[in-house]
Amino acid sequence: MSPPSDHPCLHLHVLPGAFFVRKLEPSSLIETFKSLLEADDSQSFLSITRTPEELSITGEYRDGMPEGYKEVAGWRAFKIAGPMEFNLTGVLAGFVEPLKRAEVPIFAVSTWNTDYILVPKEKLEIGIDALKRDGWTFAVE
């Protein structure tokens, strides 16, 4: 499935640096939040989601982060340029389909403006090739 349109809000960015995905107990929210804020530079990506079953933390790895984050920083990230209107449908489905065909695992995080899709760092180039073949446009940085 090709991208829904060639609108600039759907152009892709490959974000620099390593990203982490970490799962913790939901009760550790306050302690985790405090430790991450101490290391925060407020310019990097950080997402915290708590459910009754887990606390999921996803973000850009930086030096000075608390112990236990460097070990799980084996991801790279795509960002769909955004911002996207809420009535735009099928964007994430269209994005992950070529990655599925190329056997590239993903971890997706959605925000108000856009979607971030993480892939294992060793699969980044395979993912880029699959997305280009499917017609996605990469923003020139």
Output the domain CATH number for residue 124. 3.30.2130.10
3-state secondary structure of 12: strand
| Number of compact structural domains in the chain | 1
* Domain assignment present for 2: no
> Got the DSSP string for 30-98?
HHHHHHHHHT--SSS-EEEEE-SS-EEEEEE--TTPPTTSGGG--EEEEEE-----TT--SHHHHHHHH
pTM for this one?
Answer: 0.87
In a domain, 1, yes or no: no
Residue 3 lies in a domain: no
Per-residue confidence of the chain (141 residues) as pLDDT tens digits? 555 567 788 889 999 999 999 998 888 766 776 666 666 666 788 898 989 999 899 999 988 888 888 999 999 999 998 888 887 788 888 899 999 999 999 999 999 999 999 999 999 999 999 999 999 989 876
Greatest Cα pair distance in the chain:
44
